[in-house]
């Protein structure tokens, strides 16, 4: 096995360049927001992370279905890699959100639709990861985790709808929102740069996590062989 | 259909002979109501606002106990092997078990409810049909996800602990809809005032019953 994979090197350098550029765009290039001030700059990372967390959970759903159909180990590994990285991004969302909310809303947390849904989402995938940790048998784990991955994701729109009827306070989406919503052009550029940088980071982390899962599985196989 | 009925009937008879799960659910549910009564002592005047939450916490906590038993019993003497060897579709096992769990949970709810009305000094005679509708829809949704997750958690190392951790986040919309509509019912609302929540509950029930029925096969796969 080669020690360093060529693709990994390229991807990691791209992540490094992208993140540096994203920092520049978010902190220097983008104009300061009129009413919220500097604190608004957290938006670029907050929203990017939210999109990617959602993408990751969607991929867990897709890979779970693929695993149940094909029973190929790689789909299970991809599902767990995405779940873990998704939880990381969701955690970023849940941490940066309150940091922004305190100066702007005056409170860290409120039981609003998007906030509550993100928290529930986070809990669903934490429980998904916990459950995986408690099942030793690989085949069983794949099946059972896929079931939780599918049911958990199907629940997301229902959670969102129910909490939306319950209450809502979060600012409405500024990207692809309604007619009145929108970002200043400079802010929009900065946002998309951040989104691309975060997507690269997401790909890199998921790839690493996948490789790690594969190594673990290989070691496990070798260990079982050695015991025989 | 006959196969589903057979599995359903097996669970009902087992329960009728031992009375283990329903009695423990019942006692636990009552305890929850009594304890919450102490916790909210000062605000009892606002009973119509707090009581629905207490009621559903009692129902769902009691429900968790029953759901945990439903597959733990099968694992005990390796009965699950017998079930799997039976020449039936695995979906039928799910449907039978789910129906039995619904009956147990609903039975417990029907016994807890009078005590609850008594303890909180509520007057709900006219609202009972609506309350039953919400109870049935809520229970079906909770049990639909609960039965498949009970089967999942029965296969993990921390079975009793895993079920609530898996089930509660997913059951949030059902809980929210049930509690919100119960609040409206307690305040004297009519069917039109809760129709949105009822639709949500019905949607939740349908989605998760159908999906669980379809993928239950994989839980039992060796």
Element (H, E) at B207: helix B191-215
Predicted TM-score (pTM) of the model is 0.86
Residue A82 CB coordination number (10 Å): 27
**Could you say which of B145, B158, B219 has the minimum Cβ distance to residue A143?**
B219
Q: What pLDDT is recorded for position B157? A: 81
A113 and A167 Cβ atoms separated by less than 8 Å: yes
pLDDT band at A183 (very low <50, low <70, confident <90, very high): confident
Q: What pLDDT is recorded for position A168? A: 56
More reliable by pLDDT, A38 or A50: A50
- Which of B179, B201, B136 lies closest to B50 in space, CA to CA? B179
Q: What pLDDT is recorded for position A175? A: 57
Share of chain A above pLDDT 90, in %: 34
Distance from CA of B18 to the nearest CA of A (A): 30
> Which residue in chain A is spatially nearest to B180 when comparing CA positions?
A166
* A73-105 helix and A185-227 helix, angle to the nearest 10 degrees: 140
Classify A3 as helix, strand or coil: coil
**Could you say which of B152, B166, B218 has the minimum Cβ distance to residue A68?**
B218
Contact A127 B166 (CB under 8 A): yes
Q: What pLDDT is recorded for position A162? A: 82
The one-character DSSP state at A25 is I
Say if B204 is an interface residue toward chain A (CB within 8 Å).
Answer: yes
Residues 6+ apart with CB under 8 A from A199: A48, A52
Tokens 């996590």, residue located: A209
Say if B213 is an interface residue toward chain A (CB within 8 Å).
Answer: no
Residues of chain A contacting residue B165, judged by C-beta atoms under 8 Å apart: 127, 130-131
Q: What's the pLDDT tens digit per position in A151-168?
A: 999 988 888 888 777 765
The two tokens of residue B41 are 């002592």
Residue A83 has pLDDT above 90, yes or no: yes
Residues 6+ apart with CB under 8 A from B42: none
| CB-side neighbour CA atoms (13 Å) of A26 | 24
d(CA A21, CA B50): 52
Burial environment of residue B22 by CB neighbours within 10 A (0 to 12, 13 to 18, 19 or more): buried
Mean pLDDT of the A219-223 span: 89
Q: What pLDDT is recorded for position A182? A: 65
Q: What's the pLDDT tens digit per position in A87-137?
A: 999 999 999 988 888 888 888 888 877 888 889 999 999 999 999 988 888
The two tokens of residue A62 are 């897709």
Q: What is the four-CA torsion angle of A117, A121, A122, A128, rounded to 10 degrees?
A: 160
Say if B203 is an interface residue toward chain A (CB within 8 Å).
Answer: yes
Contact A147 B177 (CB under 8 A): no
Mean pLDDT of the A157-185 span: 67
Q: What pLDDT is recorded for position B165? A: 92
Where do runs of H (alpha helix) occur along chain A? 6-24, 42-70, 73-105, 113-133, 138-166, 185-227
The torsion angles phi and psi of A46, rounded to 5 degrees, stand at -60, -50
**Could you say which of B165, B176, B219 has the minimum Cβ distance to residue A162?**
B176
User: Which residues of chain B fall below pLDDT 50?
Assistant: none
> Which residue in chain A is spatially nearest to B161 when comparing CA positions?
A131
More reliable by pLDDT, A211 or B85: A211
């Amino acid at each position: 096995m080669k020690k360093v994979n060529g693709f990994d090197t390229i991807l990691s350098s791209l992540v490094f360049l992208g993140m540096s550029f994203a920092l520049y765009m978010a902190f220097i290039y983008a104009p300061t927001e009129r009413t919220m001030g500097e604190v608004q700059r957290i938006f670029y990372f907050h929203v990017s992370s939210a999109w990617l967390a959602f993408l990751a959970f969607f991929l867990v759903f897709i890979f779970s279905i693929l695993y149940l159909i094909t029973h190929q180990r790689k789909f299970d590994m991809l599902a767990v890699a995405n779940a873990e990285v998704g939880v990381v991004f969701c955690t970023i969302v849940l941490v940066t959100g309150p940091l922004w909310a305190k100066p702007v809303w005056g409170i860290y947390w409120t039981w609003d639709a998007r906030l509550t849904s993100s928290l529930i989402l986070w809990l669903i995938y934490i429980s998904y990861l916990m459950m995986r940790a408690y099942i030793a048998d690989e085949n069983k784990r794949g099946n059972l985790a896929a079931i939780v991955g599918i049911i958990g994701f199907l629940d997301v729109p229902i959670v969102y709808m129910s909490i939306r009827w319950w209450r809502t306070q979060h600012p409405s989406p500024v990207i692809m929102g309604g007619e009145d919503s929108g970002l200043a052009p400079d802010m929009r550029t900065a946002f998309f740069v951040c989104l691309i940088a975060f997507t690269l980071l997401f790909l890199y982390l998921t790839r690493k996590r996948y490789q790690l899962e594969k190594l673990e599985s290989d070691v496990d196989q070798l260990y079982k062989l050695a015991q025989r | 259909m006959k196969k589903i009925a057979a599995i359903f009937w097996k669970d009902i008879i087992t329960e009728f002979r031992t009375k283990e799960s329903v009695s423990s659910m019942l006692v636990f549910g009552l305890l929850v109501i009594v304890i919450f009564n102490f916790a909210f002592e000062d605000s009892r005047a606002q009973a119509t606002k707090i009581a629905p939450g207490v009621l559903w916490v009692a129902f769902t906590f009691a429900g968790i106990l029953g759901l945990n038993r439903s597959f733990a019993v099968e694992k005990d003497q390796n009965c699950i092997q017998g079930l799997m060897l039976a020449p039936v579709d695995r979906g039928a096992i799910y449907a039978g078990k789910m129906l039995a769990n619904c009956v147990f949970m609903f039975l417990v709810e029907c016994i807890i409810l009078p005590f609850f009305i008594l303890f909180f000094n509520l007057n709900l005679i006219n609202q009972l049909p609506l309350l039953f509708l919400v109870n049935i829809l809520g229970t079906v949704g909770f049990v639909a996800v609960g039965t498949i997750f009970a089967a999942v958690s029965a296969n993990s190392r921390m079975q009793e602990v895993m079920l609530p951790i898996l089930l509660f986040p997913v059951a949030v919309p059902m809980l929210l809809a049930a509690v919100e509509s119960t609040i409206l019912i307690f305040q004297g609302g009519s069917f039109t005032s809760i129709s949105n929540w009822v639709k949500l509950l019905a949607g939740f029930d349908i989605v998760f019953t159908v999906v669980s029925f379809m993928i239950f096969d994989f839980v039992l796969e060796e």
